[in-house]
Structure 1
Amino acid sequence: MTYQDPKAAIEDRVQDLLSQMTLPEKLAQMHALWLVLSEDGAHKMRPDASNDFSGGDPEKVKTLFAHGLGQITRPLGTFGVDPAAGVRALNRFQKDIIEGTRLGIPVMSHEECLSGLMAQGATLFPTPLSMAGTWNPDLIEKVGAAIGAECQSIGAHQGLAPVLDVSRDARWGRTEECFAEDPYLTGVFATRYVRGLQGADRKFLATLKHYVGHSASEGGRNHAPVHLGPRELADDFMLPFEMAVKGADAASIMPAYHDIDGEPLHASYRLLTEVLRDQWGFDGLIVADYIGVTLLETHHAIAADKGEAAAIAFKAGLDVELPSNECTPHLETALSRGQINMDDINEVVRRILTEKFRIGLFERPYADEGAITLRTPEALALAREVATQGTTLLENNGILPLGDTAKLAVIGPTADDPLALLGDYAFPVHLINSDATTDTDNVITPLAGLRAALGQDRVTFAQGCYILETRGSGAPVFPGDMADHESIKRNSPVSDRIDLIADAVVAAKAADVAVLCLGDLSGIFQTGTVGEGSDVDTLALPGVQQQLLDAVLDTGTPVIVVLSSGRPYNLGGREKDLAAYVMTHFSGEQGGHALADVLTGAAEPSGRLTISTPRSAGACPYHYNHKFKSAGTPIARHFGSDYPFGHGLSYTSFEYSDITLASAEVPNEGGTIEVAVTLTNTGDRTGVEVVQLYTRDCMASLVRPIKELKAFARVSLAAGASAKVTFHVPTDMLNFTGRNDRRIVEPGGFDVMIGASSDDIRLTANVDVVGAVRELPQNWRMESDANITML
């Protein structure tokens, strides 16, 4: 048959197979199953599966995939499974599908991979905030490639990453999953991560999520409604997705849970079909966020039953229901009611089959048990390099780098807890919600890293306090669990014990320097202080950490605060009392070594913030690229940031000089702004500077931000050395969404600002863009570049 002929054209194979499929066989391709797989074929439903009719009987489970299956959900990433055993079980399931169904259509396997493959034994990379803190897109492309290689080695075909939500409200628990508060920087990292993850041949599917605007929810609360106009949505939140689709050929998209102005994303034909497919040319798969289709009935209440929910989602543009089959089988009923038609179903199945043929799944359905490659030396070295480059120095009174003889007291709840270095989609952390654990001995904590670098005799330890004394699934309350949400009162699980502070004070007094490790414990659905569903109403440190900080500072011993967190926090106004302030975010399993390298001067601090630290939760949502009137009139006292986007210090100093424009007048059509500056290392040691270019539209037909990042470059210079940094910014990048909801570039004057952060502008020039107002074509120039010439 044609569909079994690997030499036949993909479209011919798809048409041949589609023409032979029955309705149940087609519907089977449109959903996944979340099973516990077995090497002997005795596959079972997950213990907490809401649709488990089998009573644990594997023979009954087999009826669920008697007609085939589109995807298998996280076969190695749901529980602690030995990778080789997991691959054998996955291969057995694949064999059952291929040999036990009429047409033998292989199943796709997907896993989570936000900060590394989320499975036992995989490399635990830093979270996206730490990755982006490197301001090194080439490095992150290597990370994507390493993660993709680990995923494919255990038989996965699709990874549910990266997250392209643009961080705007630090109260939101998923802030840690974002790259940045800036849409352009997010888009740059997204394209590089996707290119690395998918590879040049796109044989592995990256999944862009959460499309779109998920991070702009009411009050920073998970799943809450989003209130965005179409232009703000397009310019601030859709841009990274557009860049990854057009610039990296992203193979999959995942809609978000929320609604925008009353329209749930899983039901939006405009966003899923008209924008993604028709306007952007997206040709991959749109997969549901877990139970996102079900929520159209149960939470959003725009569908009368599961059949109608499925019909609405698939007609809007969805291709695969994840993680299981709650709604898709009910499409037969929806079909009989006229809520969906066979043309709609055939188009969906056509896209699914096309992707399966394109990645070679029919020819290579099985994973090679002997080719599993996890935690290679190269991957570990890469994880350490990212953690090192992402470490950001916010304050330094000269105490850093540490001297050769200083005795340290390492203090605090994140100093020696392996989970304090990991994000919510790291395997050990994700297991907490299932009340399961896995080995974390490979995670290098700050205490372990400093002892390895300085020796046991120079480093003492005091716990100081706890954030969470016990970790478990707890008892989160979800919408629908109770009729009246407003009446719910929850007690915080965060520890309020202060009895350990006295020992910390003693340790600090006996040391030359106190390294105080503060921050978060990540965990989904309130199993942590940050992470998916772990939202807050304050930016004060969780628990009694502020009391610990105050007590240690009051000893008079110089204090270096190391903040390992998933969001920025305020330190009770004590930031300027610190000897140094270092932010690592969640730096992964090599984070302790990376921190020690930076604190001792073995590595230069080169990280820069990609989200601002608001002065208070009252300033949220806060972002550097706000509108002129965002501060209020008069300016609100709580507005602004002491540690803004782009900020980060070095162990040396840099001077900016000689800004020059190749031309002060640039044509709108096909024009490029070329601007150069001279950068000089004026200190006494080698250092890295991140040179940042911002623009401001001096006058436009619609209100524009006060500044927007358009280019950047990491520059390493020896002491006394200089370099010429030349940026090329296409005029296309000066666009915004006009009154007709199309991207336009208007002529006029633009300020070009170059500096060390969004709040530290060193040089400014002005350029005139001349010509008519121009609407951008589909494939517009989306990125700038930079050339570095040593002088």
Structure 2
Amino acid sequence: MTDIYKNSAQSIENRVADLLGRMSIEEKIAQMHAFWLLLSEDGRHEVRTDAFTGADDADRLKAKLSFGLGQITRPLGSRPVDPAAGVRALNRLQKFLVEETRLGIPVISHEECLSGIMAQGGTLFPSSLAFGATFDPALIEEVGRVIGEEARSIGCRQGLAPVLDVARDARWGRTEETFGEDPYLVGLLASRYVRGLQGRDRDFLATLKHYAGHSLSEGARNHAPVNLGWRELNDTFLLPFEMAVRLADAGSVMPAYHDIDGEPCHASHHLLTKVLRDDWGFDGLVVADYIGISLLYKHHGVAADPAEAAALAFKAGLDVELPGDDCAAHLKEALARGLIGIDTIDEIVRRILTEKMRLGLFENPYTDEAGIALQTPEAIDVARRVAQKSVVILANDGILPLAETKTIALIGPTADDPLALLGDYSFPVHLIVSDLKDAATSVITPRSAFEARFGTERIRYAKGCHILEARQSGAPVFPGDVPDMTTLSQTSPVSTSLDLIPAAVEAARQADVAIVCVGDLSGIFQTGTVGEGSDTDTLVLPGVQQALLDAVVETGTPVIVVITSGRPYTLGGLEDRVAAQVMAFFGGQEGGAALADVLTGVVEPSGRLSISVPRSGGASPYFYNHKFKSSGTPVARHFGSRYPFGHGLSYTDFVYEDLTLDRASVQSEEGSVGVSFTLRNVGQRGGTEIPQLYVRDLVCSVVRPIKELKAFRRVFLEPGESACVTFRVPTDMFSFTGQEGFRIVEPGMFELMIGSSSAAIHLRTQIEVTGPVRRIEGDWKMVSRVFVSHP
């Protein structure tokens, strides 16, 4: 007779109850953590050992695995491994767990997938900041779907993405991992990414991170404390997470490393249980950020030892420790000391087993190595389209689009470096796992793309300078590793050599136009100029890139500056002296080709900034949706943004006219506001405009931002063509967190602004919300609808 838990005809609830009743305490605890192993096809798996994850031995590992395992950490993403060999090794581990342990519970394999599945051979997508610049939710859902298919094909069933942190301070190294600085844009794009990644049946788990407020750390430093009140936390930083849970049924959430007002996120019952599960109805798994539980006793000092740290985190609402069992291994001790109860452990294990059954792992634990599908034509096409749509023309004196008869000096350290087009969580860049780097042979650099487009005889390439002359590893992983910061002395790895500038100047003098490619080399923990743990104190271009740009501009040759980076940078006062400025972010493997497509006009530019470019590092933190008094009194000279959120130029011109409202007032308790206008292409080329609707609460019981994005839409128009655009905004979206700590819609006057960016407002009107103050509870309308009609 088949055991109930093995019978797929039974309900998941019955199966889980049956299995849980058979488990020993050791088998339960085994489901509550992962192992980070270097898997082998012959079953002789090795424990990954380094300063980050610690160490273990083979005999101890075998004994532990006999009880089962909750998750396996990055089996194909931890080192360069042939995908087929990696799948065979993963299947070997799975076979042991399913066929040779007492209960045969399969393991969940997780990988990183922020900009593509982070394993050898995976498609290298643009960075999340580039995703945000597309303002194209449908395309981002397609990205999620393609990445999810690649992940499933190598046995991965949980992806540690997307990042829902709302960018606030461009000095923060992880800015590149965010969708941008607006919570509505972040939440909408993340929700669509999650839908694509998980699929209709949620047979794959997306992981929302870093929950929450991670991007507002002190001084934009990795892991630094966050000093934030509940209203700002709820309205800005929690909103994208709530959207992804309610709108996309996200399957997993990962807490952040920092503390908020003294409470570490990994030990916050309020965030992990009260808000996430009780208020929002989240029913998935909460997984720790890597060694996040250990930091409760090692750094935060809210626990005395691993047992107490484990008890704090698991009682707060955590389900699975990643990447290993640093603290979960001490849960029996925590039980004996009365720090945690068996009922809590049972509830956690019940959730883990439920998710494994939902994923279908009990029926289909193995991966077909013949079904591996990486770098498919469809995936590459999607990566190319995202890269094209993310290129933002910041400024253009008419030199763009480039005539293909021009001779071009292609200059700069990012012009021919494939790693300069990749973010920190792409496989070739992510050096936490080893010093081995993939060759990134699939990456099309700007040099290769322009030489293919213009011919090598019209391209004069000169590197101009280095950003990093050698890639390094071994920097301190966490702030706090050095107890006395006054004695810490670190040398920057960024190059200061000026030797290559003269050759670049000569190349510029001999050309019709100079394209100067500057920016970042991403790398985590100070192995790059941006990325996780690679924070900065300035928005000046890293190293001597500003000196290179100064020298090239002085030649008098028209200069087009292309920034491929993980954060915005200033140009040292040259903004008015360059012929054009382009923000290309990290464009992924198709980034160079996409750049050539846009600059030559083969593809019309349609990217818009999802993050403002502050006037200087001193303006940070800067974001468009700030409070009225954020500029200081008198207004600080360094405050503001030359290129704000939503900004981006086309090769044609649009006008906005004929604004109408469908009503003069609306009840707070129901309905929506419809605002319509005519958008017309008055230029000589077809092009895409992205009209944006911003709202301001004119009089409110608490201080509110000067404007907030509530709707947008990509609209393509041929020359002379017009369209009627209608934004329909639910009154729920006028809500905010009131003085008593819950979300309300308050009556009053609201200004509605239609613009081509957060600063370029073309049409304005006002709507009155009437009726009582309304508390919003449970599900609420979080997304505007947009209608476009062509006469």
* Equivalences for residues 325-724 of structure 1 within 5 A: 325-431=325-431, 434-476=434-476, 478-724=478-724
The 8 Å contact of residues 678 and 725 in structure 1, kept in 2 or not, is answered as yes
Question: 1:485: how far off?
Answer: 2.0
* Equivalences for residues 62-101 of structure 1 within 5 A: 62-101=62-101
Aligned to 2:28: 26
Aligned to 2:744: 744
Aligned to 2:50: 48
Q: Which stretch has the larger CA shift, 60-69 or 196-205?
A: 60-69
The 8 Å contact of residues 696 and 706 in structure 1, kept in 2 or not, is answered as yes
Q: Deviations over 1:413-465 (max 9, x none)?
A: 00000000000000000037621111211100011111111111111100100
Q: Using the alignment, how far apart are the partners of 1:50 and 1:133 within structure 2?
A: 34
Q: Using the alignment, how far apart are the partners of 1:608 and 1:41 within structure 2?
A: 50
Q: Using the alignment, how far apart are the partners of 1:487 and 1:254 within structure 2?
A: 34
SS of residue matched to 2:701? coil
The 8 Å contact of residues 696 and 751 in structure 1, kept in 2 or not, is answered as yes
Q: Deviations over 1:108-132 (max 9, x none)?
A: 0000000000000000000011011
TM-score, length-scaled by structure 2: 0.99
Aligned to 2:4: 2
SS of residue matched to 1:693? strand
Question: 1:562: how far off?
Answer: 0.3
The 8 Å contact of residues 141 and 195 in structure 1, kept in 2 or not, is answered as yes
Q: Deviations over 1:236-258 (max 9, x none)?
A: 10000000000000000000000
Q: 1:433 to 1:265 in 2, by over 3 A?
A: same
* Equivalences for residues 761-772 of structure 1 within 5 A: 761-772=761-772
Aligned to 1:211: 211
The 8 Å contact of residues 433 and 524 in structure 1, kept in 2 or not, is answered as no
Question: 1:99: how far off?
Answer: 1.7
Aligned to 2:319: 319
Q: 1:51 to 1:503 in 2, by over 3 A?
A: closer
Q: Using the alignment, how far apart are the partners of 1:750 and 1:392 within structure 2?
A: 31
The 8 Å contact of residues 165 and 209 in structure 1, kept in 2 or not, is answered as yes
Q: Using the alignment, how far apart are the partners of 1:752 and 1:298 within structure 2?
A: 49
Q: Using the alignment, how far apart are the partners of 1:682 and 1:592 within structure 2?
A: 30
The 8 Å contact of residues 744 and 773 in structure 1, kept in 2 or not, is answered as yes
SS of residue matched to 1:174? helix
Q: Which stretch has the larger CA shift, 397-406 or 480-489?
A: 480-489
Q: Using the alignment, how far apart are the partners of 1:105 and 1:143 within structure 2?
A: 32
| Equivalent AA in structure 2 for residue 172 of structure 1 | W
| Equivalent AA in structure 2 for residue 241 of structure 1 | F
Q: 1:347 to 1:710 in 2, by over 3 A?
A: same
Question: 1:472: how far off?
Answer: 2.3
The 8 Å contact of residues 432 and 472 in structure 1, kept in 2 or not, is answered as no
Q: Which stretch has the larger CA shift, 516-525 or 61-70?
A: 61-70
SS of residue matched to 2:429? helix
Question: 1:651: how far off?
Answer: 0.2
Q: Which stretch has the larger CA shift, 539-548 or 660-669?
A: 660-669
Aligned to 2:15: 13
Q: Deviations over 1:763-783 (max 9, x none)?
A: 001111111100112100000
The 8 Å contact of residues 49 and 56 in structure 2, kept in 1 or not, is answered as no
The 8 Å contact of residues 614 and 640 in structure 2, kept in 1 or not, is answered as yes
| Equivalent AA in structure 1 for residue 568 of structure 2 | P
The 8 Å contact of residues 433 and 472 in structure 1, kept in 2 or not, is answered as no
The 8 Å contact of residues 475 and 527 in structure 2, kept in 1 or not, is answered as no
| Equivalent AA in structure 2 for residue 315 of structure 1 | K
Question: 1:482: how far off?
Answer: 3.0
- The unaligned stretches of length 5 or more in structure 2 are none
Aligned to 1:107: 107
| Equivalent AA in structure 2 for residue 5 of structure 1 | N
Question: 1:54: how far off?
Answer: 5.1
| Equivalent AA in structure 2 for residue 414 of structure 1 | T
* Equivalences for residues 236-385 of structure 1 within 5 A: 236-385=236-385
Q: Using the alignment, how far apart are the partners of 1:477 and 1:658 within structure 2?
A: 56
TM-score, length-scaled by structure 1: 0.99
The 8 Å contact of residues 79 and 431 in structure 1, kept in 2 or not, is answered as no
Question: 1:480: how far off?
Answer: 4.9
Q: Deviations over 1:703-750 (max 9, x none)?
A: 110000000010000001100001100000000001121100001110
Q: Using the alignment, how far apart are the partners of 2:692 and 2:114 within structure 1?
A: 27
The 8 Å contact of residues 736 and 745 in structure 2, kept in 1 or not, is answered as yes
Q: Using the alignment, how far apart are the partners of 2:189 and 2:745 within structure 1?
A: 24
The 8 Å contact of residues 520 and 530 in structure 1, kept in 2 or not, is answered as yes
Q: Using the alignment, how far apart are the partners of 1:586 and 1:11 within structure 2?
A: 45
Q: 1:406 to 1:44 in 2, by over 3 A?
A: same
Question: 1:47: how far off?
Answer: 3.1
| Equivalent AA in structure 2 for residue 161 of structure 1 | A
Q: Using the alignment, how far apart are the partners of 1:552 and 1:432 within structure 2?
A: 36
The 8 Å contact of residues 668 and 772 in structure 2, kept in 1 or not, is answered as yes
The 8 Å contact of residues 392 and 608 in structure 2, kept in 1 or not, is answered as yes
Q: Deviations over 1:3-25 (max 9, x none)?
A: 00001000000000000100000
Question: 1:43: how far off?
Answer: 0.5
SS of residue matched to 1:444? coil
Q: Using the alignment, how far apart are the partners of 1:350 and 1:174 within structure 2?
A: 34
Q: 1:725 to 1:301 in 2, by over 3 A?
A: same
Aligned to 2:757: 757
| Equivalent AA in structure 2 for residue 31 of structure 1 | H
Q: Deviations over 1:444-496 (max 9, x none)?
A: 00111111111111111001000001112143364454331232111110000
Question: 1:404: how far off?
Answer: 2.7
The 8 Å contact of residues 224 and 479 in structure 2, kept in 1 or not, is answered as no
Q: Does 1:734 align with 2:727?
A: no
| Equivalent AA in structure 1 for residue 638 of structure 2 | H
Question: 1:53: how far off?
Answer: 6.1
The 8 Å contact of residues 299 and 479 in structure 1, kept in 2 or not, is answered as no
Aligned to 1:174: 174
Q: Using the alignment, how far apart are the partners of 1:652 and 1:378 within structure 2?
A: 30
| Equivalent AA in structure 1 for residue 445 of structure 2 | T
| Equivalent AA in structure 1 for residue 455 of structure 2 | G
Q: Deviations over 1:501-527 (max 9, x none)?
A: 000000000000000000000000000
SS of residue matched to 2:289? coil
Q: Using the alignment, how far apart are the partners of 1:394 and 1:480 within structure 2?
A: 39
| Equivalent AA in structure 2 for residue 348 of structure 1 | I
SS of residue matched to 1:526? coil
Q: Using the alignment, how far apart are the partners of 2:677 and 2:703 within structure 1?
A: 29
Q: Using the alignment, how far apart are the partners of 1:514 and 1:288 within structure 2?
A: 48
The 8 Å contact of residues 508 and 557 in structure 2, kept in 1 or not, is answered as yes
Q: Using the alignment, how far apart are the partners of 2:719 and 2:573 within structure 1?
A: 35
Q: 1:51 to 1:140 in 2, by over 3 A?
A: closer
> Root-mean-square deviation (CA), in Å?
1.0
| Equivalent AA in structure 1 for residue 206 of structure 2 | A
Question: 1:653: how far off?
Answer: 0.3
| Equivalent AA in structure 2 for residue 764 of structure 1 | R
| Equivalent AA in structure 2 for residue 612 of structure 1 | S
The 8 Å contact of residues 433 and 525 in structure 1, kept in 2 or not, is answered as no
